[in-house]
Amino acid sequence: MRRGTIVLLLFILVVAIIIGTSQFLQSQPPTTLRIAVSPLIEDWAQAAIDAYNATNPIVNTHRIRFVVEPVEDTSVWLDDGTARREWTSGSHPAAWIPAWSTSVNYARERMPFEFVVPSLGRTLLVWGGFRSRVDALTDGGVAFDWDRIAGAAAQGSWGVINPNAGFSGNFTLAFNRPNQTMSGFAVLLSGAAAYRSTADLTSSDLASPDYRTWMQPVLESVPNFNTLGASPAETIAARGETVGELALVPESEWLKNLRGRLINSDDPVVLSYPAFPFVFDFPLAVWAEPTTPATPPPISAADTQTAVGALANWLLAPAQQARLADFGLRPPQGARAETLPAEDAALFVTGANYGAQLLPDMTTPIQAPSRSDLQRLLSWANAYIR
C-alpha cells in the first residue's frame, strides 16, 4: 500500500475516533453539578448558566451540566440563620456565588471554599421613598440618609416628625428580614457604618449600646416583615406606602421594579445613596475537596475545578457581562459602567429619572469584623424583628 494512502486512512481513522468519541460523550447522561447562587443575582446567573449548558461542555470524559440553587449567604454562615445550610463533604454544591465576598471568608472557617473569581457583578444598598415623605423628612435641606431616617424612626409618628406635612399615623420603613437574607442583614451593617461614621467596622462598633439603642427604632419601624415578601421594592410598587413609606434595599431591586406606585407621577419614588456604601460583589468560589457530589457519581476535585473555571470564563465573557445591566446589576470592580451600550443600560437610564446614579462612589465599601461579631449582632436584633 502506498504511503500516501496509509496516511489518508490513518487520518480518516483518527477523525472517525474523534467524532465517535464526541457522539458517545454527548449521548451519555450529563454529570450534574450544583451551584449555589444568591437570590440577588439568581436571574442573571440562571440565564447565563442555561446558555452555558446549551453548549454541552465536556471536562475530561464528563459532560457537565450546572444546576442553580438559590441560597442566602446568611443561611450558610449564621449559626441560627433560618433554614441554615449544613454543607458537608458528602453534601455540598460544587460552587457558590454569594452576594458578599466576606461570606466566603466566613464560610471558610468550616468549609473548604476557594475563590475562583473575586467579583462577577455588583449592586449596593440604596434608600428609596415616596417623594412626599422624603420632602417632609428633608424639609430644611437635611440629607435623605441614615441620620434623618433613624431620627424619624425614634420620633415615631408623622405628627411629631413634621406636623405641617399633613400625614397621620406612624413612620414606616421596609427592608428584607435581617435574620433570613443578606440584603436584610446588610441594613444592620449599613446603619452601624452611618452611626460610627466609618466603613471599617469593628467588634466594639457592633456591640456598642449606643448604636443598638439608635438602631432599635429602625427595626421597630417595619410594621410586619411578612407583608413585604421576598422583594420589598416589588411589594411597594404594587401596594404603595401602606407596606412602607421608605425602604433600604439593593439598587437592582429598585431598578427592576420601577413600575406601578413607584412611578406614580403625583408621588414617585426618590432614590438616595447612603454615604457609606454596602456593596454586594458576587464572587465565585469552588468547593475544594477530593470529590464533589454529583449526578452521576462524584467527579474529582481537579475536574470539578476545571469545570467551574470554564464556567467562570463564560460568566466573565463580554456577552454575559453585557447582560448584567438588564437585571439592574453593575459590572465587577475594575469595569466601568459608562462603557455599557446605552440600550443595555436601559434600567439605569430610567432609574436616573428617580435618582439612580450611573457611577456612585463604591471605592470604600463597608467592611465587617468577625463572623461571631455578626452572630452576636443578629442575636440582639432578633428581639425587634417581627
Convert the pLDDT of each residue in 210-266 to its tens digit: 999 999 999 999 999 999 999 999 999 999 999 999 999 999 999 999 999 999 999
> What's the mean pLDDT in 298-322?
94
The sign of the torsion formed by the CA atoms of 52, 119, 61, 18 equals positive
Can you name the residues that pair with 117 across neighbouring β-strands? Answer: 284
Delimit the domains of the chain by residue range.
3-118+283-327, 123-278+356-384
- Fold match between domain 3-118+283-327 and domain 123-278+356-384: yes
Tell me what the mean pLDDT of segment 2-26 comes to.
49
In the DSSP assignment, the letter for residue 300 is: E
Residue 22 banded pLDDT, cuts 50, 70, 90: very low
Q: Rounded to a whole number, what is the distance in angstroms from the first to the last CA of the chain?
A: 86
Beta strand extents in the chain (DSSP E only): 31-37, 58-59, 62-70, 95-97, 113-117, 123-130, 173-174, 246-250, 269-272, 279-280, 284-287, 291-292, 299-300
Q: Count CB atoms within 10 A of the CB of residue 9.
A: 11
Cα–Cα distances in Å, from 301 out to 112, 289, 296, 308, 309? 12, 6, 15, 10, 12
pLDDT (tens digit, 9 = 90+) per residue, 221-234? Answer: 999 999 999 999 99
Convert the pLDDT of each residue in 77-125 to its tens digit.
Answer: 987 545 567 898 888 999 999 999 999 999 999 999 999 999 999 999 9
* pLDDT of 319 above 80: yes
Average pLDDT over residues 27-32: 80
DSSP calls for 266-293: TS-EEEE--SS--EE---EEEE-SSEE-
d(CA 71, CA 61): 30
21 — pLDDT class (breaks 50, 70, 90): very low
Specify the fold of 3-118+283-327.
D-Maltodextrin-Binding Protein; domain 2 (3.40.190)
The answer, yes or no, to whether residue 341 has pLDDT greater than 50, is: no
CA 109, chain centre distance (Å): 21
Residue with the bigger pLDDT between 147 and 23: it is 147
C-alpha angle 234-228-267 in degrees, rounded to nearest 5: 55
Query: If you classify domain 123-278+356-384 with CATH, what class do you get?
Result: alpha beta
Q: Tell me: pLDDT of 14 over 60.
A: no
* Three cell numbers written together for 144: 435623605
